Chains A and B, each alone.
Chain A
Amino acid sequence: MISVQELDFNQQVEYDRLKSTTKIGAIVTFTGLVRDINEGQQVSDLTLEHYPGMTEKCLQDIVEQAQQRWNIIDFSVIHRVGQLAISDQIVFVGIASQHRGDAFAACEFIMDFLKKQAPFWKKETMANGETKWVDAREHDQHALNKWQS
């Protein structure tokens, strides 16, 4: 399942959905949260904008690439948009597989490509009230390069 939504998500609900068949031997999940400090500055909240339509297509494409490389029995990719507070959940990737190796790799692959390709943009509001669009990080490109081989 892929979902781009304003509403929060419940990890237990996602986990229970992922373990719905007896073939599954491993579930790996990743959750991204809103941090209180970014680049040394105190953040008070975050707004996430996205490109409706393209976002869902892009996430679908990333999941399909992962499915070609690893055994994925079921998956859940959720990304929130709109206004978020410190410690709020932003993103969830859950992979159910027969074995842990595939689940770990697919989960990391999907997160790496999501960060570099999916059309989301973060805007932070600082403690002093100023707003700032978050700059893309060089590190995210390096994370992607490791999957090229």
Chain B
Amino acid sequence: MIKVLFFAKLSEQLGVRELQVDAENAEDTKQLFAYLLNHKAEWAPILTSQPCLKAVNQAMVVNDVALKDGDEVAYFPPVTGG
């Protein structure tokens, strides 16, 4: 399984903080994102209408990367700490 996390505004809008996705549906982050767009009807407009950053195993990634069983992928808005 791939552990998918959402944070801040994104998790509020999607109504979920954590999701387990079968690794077969997530060979890479591109496939995982496509899976999430179809997960619920209302998810696609939420995920595509705003800047959405991603981290794989707690490190920010820009391009799509391969995933394996047990990986953790997080999606979140641009950060606003400090």
Partner of B81, one of A50, A53, A54, A135: A50
The size bracket of the interface on B is 10 to 19
* Interface residue? A70 (CB, 8 A): no
Interface string of B18-55 (1 = CB under 8 A from A): 00000000000000000000000000000000010001
Q: How far is the CA of A120 from the CA of B59 in the complex (A)?
A: 14
Point out the residues of chain B lying under 8 angstroms from A49, CB to CB. Answer: 7-8
Interface string of A11-53 (1 = CB under 8 A from B): 0000000000000000000001000000000000000111101
Q: How far is the CA of A95 from the CA of B20 in the complex (A)?
A: 41
Point out the residues of chain B lying under 8 angstroms from A116, CB to CB. Answer: 79
Contact: A51 with B7, CB < 8 Å? yes
Interface string of A47-64 (1 = CB under 8 A from B): 011110110011000000
Contact: A32 with B82, CB < 8 Å? yes
Whether A121 contacts B77 in the complex (CB less than 8 A), given A32-B82, A51-B58, A53-B58, comes out as yes
Point out the residues of chain A lying under 8 angstroms from B78, CB to CB. Answer: 135-136
Point out the residues of chain A lying under 8 angstroms from B58, CB to CB. Answer: 51, 53-54, 57
Contact: B55 with A120, CB < 8 Å? no
Contact: A121 with B9, CB < 8 Å? yes
Point out the residues of chain A lying under 8 angstroms from B60, CB to CB. Answer: 58, 117
Contact: A51 with B81, CB < 8 Å? no
Closest to A133 in B: B9
Partner of B77, one of A54, A90, A136: A136
Point out the residues of chain B lying under 8 angstroms from A119, CB to CB. Answer: 7, 55, 74, 76, 79, 81
Contact: B82 with A114, CB < 8 Å? yes
Min Cβ gap B77→A in Å is: 7
19 contacts between A and B (CB under 8 A): A49-B8, A51-B74, A54-B55, A54-B74, A79-B82, A111-B82, A114-B82, A115-B81, A116-B79, A117-B79, A119-B76, A121-B7, A121-B9, A123-B8, A133-B80, A135-B80, A136-B51, A136-B79, A136-B80
On B, residues with C-beta under 8 Å from A are 5, 7-9, 12, 51, 55, 58-60, 74, 76-82
